[in-house]
Amino acid sequence: MGNYHISAIPYSPPHKKDDIVSGAFTRSYTYTTDNGNINYTDTFIRYFYSKIDNNTGALAASSQWDSAVNSGYWASTDKFEWVPQYETEAAFESSPTVIQFGDGYKQVIKKGINSISTTLNLKFEKIPIPKAKAILHFIEYNIENDDDGKYQNIFEYKAQEPLDGGDYVRLYRAKSPNFKWDTYKLGSVSVSFEEVNAASTLVIS
């Protein structure tokens, strides 16, 4: 996160909308080895983003990050929740298997599921600097970190219609973020989201 400075704002409320809030948490591991179990504990910094002004909602416990934190009060680094402008673009690319023969002929073999990759080019035009800062912080954090140890640099995002896929929340990886200073206290953010062919989360409403 070395491109710009993020203040370590205390994670106790209240906060303003788009404040980047940090808190130090501990987590424990148990490793099984040939010589028995080894217990290990480390401390790490977790970031959250305030969705509203004068946020009085306390941060959830670490065991509730995947549910209570993504609520009306807070957004976390697990899920991108900002809504871009409708100038956002989507590109689709198929990835069939092509066998090239020596006589100039080739055979194209259709792949099974997840054979089309999707790239979203999101745009946030002339937004307040605190919002731009929060978006850029989210993107940089997910590019550089691997919190869950399972899907590195991957987060959830529900695309706008008609690409929302019903109730599916798909997994993406961010790349090529860009910031532009438009006017005083206003800026623009553009970033590409590349869909990751991993297990998606189905939300039943």
The pLDDT of residue 95: 61
The pLDDT of residue 112: 54
- Answer yes or no: is pLDDT of 200 > 50: no
Per-residue confidence band for 204, with pLDDT thresholds at 50, 70 and 90: very low
Pairing outcome for strands 116-128 and 186-195: antiparallel
Identify the DSSP state of 44.
E
Element (H, E) at 107: strand 106-109
Residue at which a domain ends, from 76, 92, 116: 76
149 and 125 housed in the same domain: yes
Digit-coded pLDDT (tens) for 123-169 = 999 999 999 999 999 998 888 775 544 445 788 888 877 776 556 67
Average pLDDT, the chain: 75
CA distance 192 to 122: 6
Residue at which a domain ends, from 52, 76, 100: 76
Structure tokens at 174: 């961010």
Question: Which of 189, 202, 200 minimizes the C-alpha distance to 82?
Answer: 189
Per-residue confidence band for 91, with pLDDT thresholds at 50, 70 and 90: confident
Residue at which a domain ends, from 76, 107, 132: 76
The pLDDT of residue 185: 92
Angstrom distances, CA of residue 58 to CA of 12, 38, 44, 151, 155: 6, 34, 19, 28, 23
Mean pLDDT score, 25-38: 75
Q: Which of 79-93, 104-118, 120-134, 152-166 has the highest mean pLDDT?
A: 120-134
Mean pLDDT score, 16-41: 78
Element (H, E) at 131: helix 129-144
133 phi and psi angles, rounded to 5 deg:
-65, -40
140 and 99 housed in the same domain: yes
CA distance 74 to 94: 36
Sequence-distant (≥ 6) Cβ neighbours of residue 204 within 8 angstroms: 167
64 and 155 housed in the same domain: no
Name the domain count of the chain.
Answer: 2
